[in-house]
Amino acid sequence: KAGVTQTPRYLIKTRGQQVTLSCSPISGHRSVSWYQQTPGQGLQFLFEYFSETQRNKGNFPGRFSGRQFSNSRSEMNVSTLELGDSALYLCASSSPGSGRLTDTQYFGPGTRLTVL
């Protein structure tokens, strides 16, 4: 199976702009989670989507939003970009199998966002 794919891999934006990142999960996976990775704060959970519904949300401002489509692909959007939004944004997918609510998450390569 192909792994989690994320596009674009690199992105440069300026303050005040908005950006949309895309994630295609592993085939058959219905849960997609997003994380932000920075040298200062480490890996932080943004939100999770499952069957097109946001199931969990982290402690990020409303400028960070996401959505999931019927084919489980997900996008996240950051509006009014700030310098501090420069980070590696990781997407992870998981399968709901075995009746569990939680399962192993498989990560994509990430999108490196630089805000100037």
Partner 1 sequence: AQSVSQHNHHVILSEAASLELGCNYSYGGTVNLFWYVQYPGQHLQLLLKYFSGDPLVKGIKGFEAEFIKSKFSFNLRKPSVQWSDTAEYFCAVNAGGGGNKLTFGTGTQLKVEL
Q: Which residues bind partner 1 (CB under 8 A)?
A: 31, 33, 35, 42-45, 48, 50, 55-56, 58, 90, 92, 94, 100-110
Residue 37 CB: number of other CB atoms within 10 A? 14
72 — alpha (psi -120 to 50), left (phi > 0) or beta? Answer: left
Tally of helices (H runs) and strands (E runs) in the chain: 0, 11
Give the nearest distance from C-beta 9 to partner 1 in angstroms.
Answer: 11
Give the nearest distance from C-beta 24 to partner 1 in angstroms.
Answer: 14
Give the nearest distance from C-beta 4 to partner 1 in angstroms.
Answer: 8
